[in-house]
Chain A
Amino acid sequence: MARKPVARKPKARKPEARGRGPAPGRFVETAVEVEGRTETRIVEIPASEPAPWTDAAPLAVVGARVPRVDAEEKVTGRARYTADIARPGMLHAVFRRAPIPRGRIRTLDLAPARAVPGVYDVLGPGDAPEKTRLFSREIFYAEQPVAAVCADTRAAAIRAAHAIVVEYDPAPFAVTFEQAVAPDAPKVRAKGNLYPGSPIVESRGDLDAGLRAADVVIRREYRTPVALHSALEPHGAVAEWEGDRLTVWESTQGIFRVREHVAKALGVPMSKVRVIKEQMGGGFGAKNGAGAHTYAAALFARRTGRPVRCVNDREAEQTDSGNRPATTQRVTLGAKRDGTLTAIHLVADVPLGISGWEGGPGQFYHEMYACPNVRTEETFAYVNTSGMQAFRGPGYTEGAFGLESAMNALARELHMDPIALRVKNFAERDPRKNRPYTGNRLLECYEEGARRFGWKTVNREPSTVNRKRRGVGLASQVWPTGGGPPAYALVRINSDATVEVLTGTQDLGTGARTVLAQIAAEALGAKLEHVRMIIGDTQSLPYTGNSWGSMTTASVGPAVRMAAEDARHQLVEAAATMLAATPDALEVRDSRLIVRDTDRTMTFAEVTGQLGDVMIIGKGSRGPNPPDVAIMTFGAQFAEVEVDVETGIVRVLRIVAVHDAGRIINPLLAESQLEGGILQGLGYALFEERVLDRTLGRQLNANLHDYKIPTMADVPVIEAFFVPGADPRANHTGARGLAEPPIIPTAPAIAAAVADAIGAEVSEIPLTPWRVLEALARG
């Protein structure tokens, strides 16, 4: 049969490159943005990367609304979480924690704990390697671990932890920003109460000139609370030593980072530490490395020779497992009569807790609008409370509440439609670093959102007669979602034609397993049900980074695609021989190879059956990011609320969300991500707030009854959409990240709707009945 010469796109990999070491010049610097921080990495350029999947690419599996590949395990109870890991002979570890926020241990008697039946070991001050930072005699925050016990049952360990006798010499403490920065403030920690470099100032243009040029200047002060991640599966680890090798099962967003932390803290080689994570009950940013529980489990396991489990109880999870820090944001906006922003000024105070990083609200102020004169001054202070951790959209979520609330106030001041104000100040380029975007459809998000919400048609006349008043509002969002290297994947085709994707990433419940399987199936031409994801094990899988910063799809997806394309090319070469065709004449789809324009075809199983134990293994890696571009996800959310002006209770009736995240690999799962982010944003707006007793420095709501997260009864009508369109300039899958963006604009959109409903602004979240009534009283 005649074979037509068909022009095809170049092969994904030059055959001559196979099996050789990197050629000179194959390593380059690339910039990777992680949650607003830019890191420079030296990475290998893949020998050849696949051509980008543009909108015109004929994709069948990518973009399909298919169920989660691990859904069946989850609905049958078969899914195994770290908290489910039970090893033969396993012991249970429990911490004793300090009840005071600052001071020193005066006396500590561990003997009563050792006497409790079932107790195997006790650890106190001086018993843990210094790098674990465990069991210091000096107390820096309430609930700091001072000792730990391991026993054959959890109940015995709890009894023994209670039996430890500790006396403290309390010392003056600071648990608020104001206390920490006061002239006579107590020393929060050994070295200074301010985060190094505070206030951190970032500036573009000339703020004073911008304010002088303004026709209208508004000044506001906004406050956001400490919010708690509240993952339903607490932080936890199970550790087991075999000789000098340590295995850790950990509920984590980063198996390789846990490995690094454990190896460093315990002084063992990284190659001796294996970290495993199968399923995980949520992370939201708080599970990005090893923690006290990990170190305690590993130390006890080494000392006792037994596997040891250490899982937080709910109180520990709500007090000492990370939080989103509070902010006070003093915002000044200057604008022309037509809404053109001339100046944005932020002065922010952020109490970090006893540790943390400078992921503050300021970045959002620099990135959201095309204002020429922007200045942010952020002061980060350490305080005697448990340290912060990244929490979904860290910094940007807080910053959006400040800036977007101020923009809505400005719109009211200018008697301008808040959408028109935003469109007026739309950034054509990344205004922070003056570089082009790979893609930005924010204007379409406004337009589409307004249309679906009925922005112009909703009755916006505030009622003064009804007890229940309705209002509407909106807010926007930006978030860096480019992802980047390093990330690696292998794709192997087994002799039974099943496909396994091996990559050292993790699925937090986001759906990474599913979207990566879809990418592999698409690139390989395999049926999705034949593809199995093998992830979450540092020992057997190639490296990928943490699942943070909405990075996994954009980082690991291209590596998986490349590995699958590599495997496909090898399979095609093998099948070409069997089908007496040239590789170029073969098409691959639905786990079948077809000689184009003929009826000659073979299934994967027929090819692998003939190959026998000859195995096809494809390799892929994530190439560098394109230079000097901004890779961002955008969106706008619209809220409609009903406020009971007698009780102050706010009920959210409806949220319409439209985001631009490039190609959506799986619309069903992406929609779930949007809904989940919106509901966490709704909790942040209405209920969630860590409450401290400021005289004792201790938390008052360390449980899920008093720290209120949304329930099904709180759920409004949510309509969540993406504007369609791939972003082939971001990476060759055309997908950007989307997990964190949806939480960012929800709270300011709801707050704007409340202001619209009651005719008064509530400048502090959560929008509790008390605060709403206060705002009403002020008028």
Chain B
Amino acid sequence: MRESLRQPVLAVGPFHPLQEEMEFFQLTVDGEKVTDINVRISYNHRGIEKLSETLQFDQVPYLVSRVCGICSASHPLAYVQAVEEIAGVKPPERALYVRTIINELERIHSHLLWVGLAGHFIGYDTVFMWAWKYREPVLDLLEEITGNRNNYGNVKVGGCREDIPDELIPKVLAELDKIEQKTEMLTKAVLDDPVLHARLKGVGVLTKEDAVKYAVTGPTARGSGVAIDVRHDDPYAAYADLDWKVISLPEGDVFAKAAVRLLETLEAVKIIRQALRQLPTGPVAVEVKEIPAGEGCGHAEAPRGETFHYVRSDGGNRPVRHKIRAPSYVNVPSFKASCIGQDIADVTLTLAAVDPCYSCTERIAVVDGHNTVLRNYEELLRLSREKTAYIQRELGAPPMKLEDC
């Protein structure tokens, strides 16, 4: 009998049970334990790098903001930073602060989105409902500043398109106080909950050594004790002027990644508050006429980690090459290190713990046939939730305490 027939293969995908995007994982299992994992991506490749070569430099930010709805601030920012490097353009101070504020608002809404999804998957639907409720005002603020809840289209080579009107600042500050209070309550509830400790600690561990080998970034790296953060290491926008901390925890498990995101959300509030209070006066853009020949590297710390753009110009009005590397592209392959040896009930959560973003990772539409799905979404969700309920019973723990505020 062929080896592949003797070894049961569990198919997860092409629709992930938790993340609503296409990818296909094949888990080789021995009973309930995962012994190997293979990933197939590119079900929705859009050829954005090639498309970018057909657009003028000032049109590309609108294209790259559509690489990913969630990271629609950090992709264009990394791109314009690369082009500004080629052209030797320095945007006005105020523009740097506006970029910081929008990017941190993006981080808050992205992290809260993840916390909600993770809560849903382990059977904590209250966490799901509340985290998403708290996220909503952040999207409203983004809409008020940029005109859009996502795909903000605010950053351009040389500065920003839209300013933050001074009269809006008190409103944003007031909303931030509420967001901070709610996120603090949610963070405390998660960090103090004995069931979550039992459910998430020691699950899906990515060691520091593996984090370095797989070159992961963002909360996936920082949750494994690798304290890298572009905002701190190669400061851009206004981050060097502001007082904030890089959050890093050494454990490498799902709990650490969740804690890093929650604590980072609170840091993001701190950053925005300072940026609003110190917002310099003046214009938000300088005029940029021509982009000379040359090459530039731009990177920004997106919610999931480092977004990297490389741009090459031949002196014409379009990039001759534009490389995009989203954080998930390096974070997703680390599953190989964190999933093997795990229970099936924990694998989908471990896969989701890097907050994978497939629209980011892929940039030709492809559909092909797959193995028989041995277990479907409902069954994987049930397994995960049952494990939480089992731990809850074993511990005799009361339901998680959340106090609305």
A binds B: no
Report which B residues bind A (CB closer than 8 A): none
Residues on A lying within 8 angstroms of B by beta carbon are none
